[in-house]
């Protein structure tokens, strides 16, 4: 028997080594020269300059380690053959390719067929400004519609928004707006390694192009690619091939310069600031009032009142109590509220000398829960009854955790199951297994979609905010009751504001609505 086990283990080990060694892809001997990284995001589009057409080719610089120069190549088909159009040194990311008129008979015929396509009237009144209430790296562009958008020839199909950086020389397409739209938010990234990187405090120029999406007379498809060449010219790498954008268009006047920058206060969130400050003031007021000895009424919470009864039942039956903190992290408010309830429950359990089982899903939650339970046992004067295995980690795989907790329920048959915290799809599986195990069940969660499941499967359920109120209700401490009272008044405030909102909309007080309109 031992030999068989030994052989199986050896086979597993060999399998493991073979499987890891089989992954070697053979990247070649170390130290051999490698070609430079290719240029990326190659774009090409046509500009009209005087009486000639120019293809503006732009690319994103790669890690230029080893790059000596870039060779710009052009072809009539994506497959090639590509011919060299020019060279630029490393560090340059653009190239102007002057386009010749076609001589090929087929192209000439194509030109003849499309020569009557007329460009739409250009957009006018382009206004550019920093996009407010953000972290920067964004510019708002607005314009007056082309005279041929919806009226006139009505041949505008789309607007292209082009941006040049530093000098108004090479404009690159940043995005498009549909016909009839007259605004565009050019939102870049603050991350340098990303394609749409857009640094702050740099001059930007914009122009808006009204396009008809018809073929440019006298133009044919050109395909460009950029070759990054090392000092040793036998080492090079090609970019992806890019087709030239060539539509019939007309450009607006150039607008700019404009710079993007971040703001130090988000005025769109002013209403939130007022409400939070107001709520804080009310909370502090009621806490002070409670400290002064005012009798604050709190309505009965059946679920919490049942906790004592449930602990008593467990003591009589000589069976443990299972406390599940849910799938939330230690940063979730529901989990924080659950710690408080756990502390109170653990103290009672320690006093009654009943068993407690707390399987955890999150290791941070486990660490905090261990400390909470330990302190509760010490407060109850029973530090000897505490041992670290009361609170233990199971797994952070959702259904593996459910399987483990269900296993505990079916094997240990706890007298009481308490589910307090954040729950998802596992709520009903846990609660129904608890029913099968014959336990009294008390639950509390702020996950709205899980509340119905708990309501049908548990004896008592704390609905939403009752979970947060439970700690104050259990402790009856003035400080906690004060904050509970503040919540009630805040709810009254929400009702008043809701009614005021109805009235504002009925009477057309748009300012009221706009004040409460919060953007992210």
Residue 393 beta carbon to other proteins: minimum distance, rounded to whole angstroms = 3
Handedness of CA 230, 236, 242, 244 (dihedral sign): positive
For other proteins, give the closer residue by CB, 148 or 362: 362
- Tell me the window of 202-210, 230-238, 280-288, 317-325 that interacts with other proteins (CB under 8 A): 280-288
Q: Does 296 bind other proteins (CB under 8 A)?
A: no
Q: What is the per-residue DSSP string for 187-256? A: E-BS-TTSTTB--SS--EEEEEEEEEEEEPTT----EEEEEEEESSTT-EEE---EE-B-EEEEE---EE
Window 355-374: residues binding other proteins (CB under 8 A): 360, 362-364, 366-368, 371-372, 374
Residue 57 beta carbon to other proteins: minimum distance, rounded to whole angstroms = 32
Q: Does 475 bind other proteins (CB under 8 A)?
A: yes
Query: Which residue among 487, 509, 515, 516 contacts other proteins (CB under 8 A)?
Result: 487
Kindly report the CA angle at 269 between 268 and 274, in degrees rounded to 5?
130
Query: Which residue among 258, 301, 420, 467 contacts other proteins (CB under 8 A)?
Result: 467
For other proteins, give the closer residue by CB, 20 or 506: 20
Residue 364 beta carbon to other proteins: minimum distance, rounded to whole angstroms = 4
Handedness of CA 49, 55, 59, 64 (dihedral sign): negative
- Binders of other proteins: how many residues, by CB under 8 A? 97
Q: Does 291 bind other proteins (CB under 8 A)?
A: no
- Tell me the window of 99-107, 214-222, 267-275, 296-304 that interacts with other proteins (CB under 8 A): 267-275
> Going by DSSP bridges, is the β-strand pair 236-238/183-187 parallel, antiparallel, or unpaired?
unpaired
CA dist 33 and 49 (Å) reads: 43
Query: Which residue among 55, 229, 304, 337 contacts other proteins (CB under 8 A)?
Result: 337
Contacts of 466 (CB under 8 A, 6+ apart): 301, 303, 304, 444
For other proteins, give the closer residue by CB, 122 or 303: 303
CA atoms within 13 A on the CB side of 204: 28
Q: Does 339 bind other proteins (CB under 8 A)?
A: yes
Q: 3-class SS at 301?
A: coil
For other proteins, give the closer residue by CB, 352 or 392: 392
Judge whether 281 and 481 are in contact, CB under 8 Å.
no
Give the chain's largest Cα–Cα span: 100
Residue with the two structure tokens 């290791």: 363
For other proteins, give the closer residue by CB, 8 or 101: 8
Peptide bond into 460 cis (omega under 30): no
Distance of CA 31 to CAs 28, 64, 230, 232, Å?
Answer: 9, 19, 16, 16
Contacts of 40 (CB under 8 A, 6+ apart): 59, 60, 62, 195, 239, 240
Q: Does 483 bind other proteins (CB under 8 A)?
A: yes
Residue 34 beta carbon to other proteins: minimum distance, rounded to whole angstroms = 19
Query: Which residue among 223, 386, 453, 460 contacts other proteins (CB under 8 A)?
Result: 453
Roughly what angle, to the nearest 10 degrees, separates helices 398-412 and 426-437? 10
**Binding pattern for the stretch 175-194 against other proteins, x by CB under 8 A and - elsewhere:** ---------------x----
CA dist 252 and 291 (Å) reads: 68
Residue 411 beta carbon to other proteins: minimum distance, rounded to whole angstroms = 6
Query: Which residue among 142, 216, 242, 340 contacts other proteins (CB under 8 A)?
Result: 340
Window 399-428: residues binding other proteins (CB under 8 A): 399-400, 402-403, 407, 411, 425, 428
Residue 275 beta carbon to other proteins: minimum distance, rounded to whole angstroms = 9
Distance of CA 69 to CAs 194, 228, 231, Å?
Answer: 23, 6, 8
For other proteins, give the closer residue by CB, 81 or 292: 292
Window 97-156: residues binding other proteins (CB under 8 A): 133-137
């Amino acid at each position: 028997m031992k030999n068989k086990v030994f052989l199986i283990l050896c086979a597993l080990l060999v399998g493991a080594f073979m499987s890891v060694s089989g992954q070697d892809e053979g990247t070649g001997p170390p130290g051999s020269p490698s070609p430079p990284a290719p240029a990326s995001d190659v774009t090409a589009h046509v500009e009209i300059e005087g009486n000639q057409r120019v293809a503006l080719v732009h690319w994103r610089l790669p890690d230029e380690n080893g790059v000596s120069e870039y060779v710009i190549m052009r072809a009539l088909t994506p497959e090639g053959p590509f011919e060299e159009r020019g060279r630029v040194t490393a560090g340059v990311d653009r190239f102007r390719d002057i386009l010749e008129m076609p001589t090929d008979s087929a192209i000439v015929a194509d030109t003849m067929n499309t020569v009557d396509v007329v460009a739409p009237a250009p957009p006018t009144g382009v206004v550019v400004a920093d996009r407010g209430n953000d972290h920067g790296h964004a510019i708002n562009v607005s314009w007056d519609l082309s005279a041929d958008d919806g009226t006139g020839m009505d041949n505008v199909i789309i607007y292209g928004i082009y941006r040049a950086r530093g000098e108004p020389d090479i404009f690159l397409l940043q995005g498009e707006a549909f016909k009839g739209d007259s605004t565009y938010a050019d939102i870049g990234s603050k991350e340098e390694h990303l394609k749409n990187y857009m640094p702050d405090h740099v001059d930007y120029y914009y122009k808006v192009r009204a396009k008809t999406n018809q073929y440019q007379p006298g133009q044919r498809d050109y395909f460009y690619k950029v070759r990054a060449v090392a000092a040793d010219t036998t080492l090079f790498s090609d970019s992806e091939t890019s087709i030239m954008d060539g539509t019939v268009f007309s450009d607006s006047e150039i607008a700019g310069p404009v710079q993007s920058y971040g703001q130090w206060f988000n005025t769109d969130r002013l209403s939130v600031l007022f409400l939070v400050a107001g709520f804080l003031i009310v909370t502090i007021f009621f806490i002070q009032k409670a400290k002064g000895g005012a009798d604050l009424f709190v309505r009965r919470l059946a679920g919490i009142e049942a906790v004592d009864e449930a602990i008593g039942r467990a003591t009589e039956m000589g069976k443990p109590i299972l406390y599940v903190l849910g799938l939330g992290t230690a940063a979730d408010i529901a989990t924080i509220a659950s710690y408080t309830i756990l502390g109170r429950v653990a103290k009672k359990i320690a006093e009654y000398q009943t068993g407690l089982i707390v399987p955890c899903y999150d290791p941070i939650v486990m660490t905090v829960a261990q400390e909470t339970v330990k302190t509760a046992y010490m407060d109850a004067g029973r530090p000897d009854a505490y041992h670290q295995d009361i609170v233990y980690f199971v797994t952070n795989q959702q259904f593996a955790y459910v399987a483990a907790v269900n296993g505990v329920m079916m094997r240990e048959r706890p007298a009481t199951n308490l589910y307090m915290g954040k729950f998802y799809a596992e709520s009903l599986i846990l609660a129904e297994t608890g029913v099968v195990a014959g336990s009294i069940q008390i639950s509390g969660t702020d996950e709205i979609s899980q509340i119905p499941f708990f309501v049908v499967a548990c004896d008592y359920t704390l609905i939403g905010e009752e979970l947060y109120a439970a700690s104050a209700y259990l402790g009856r401490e003035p400080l906690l009751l004060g904050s509970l009272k503040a919540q009630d008044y805040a709810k009254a405030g929400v009702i008043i504001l809701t009614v005021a909102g109805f009235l504002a909309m009925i009477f057309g007080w748009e300012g009221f609505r706009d004040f409460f309109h919060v953007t992210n």
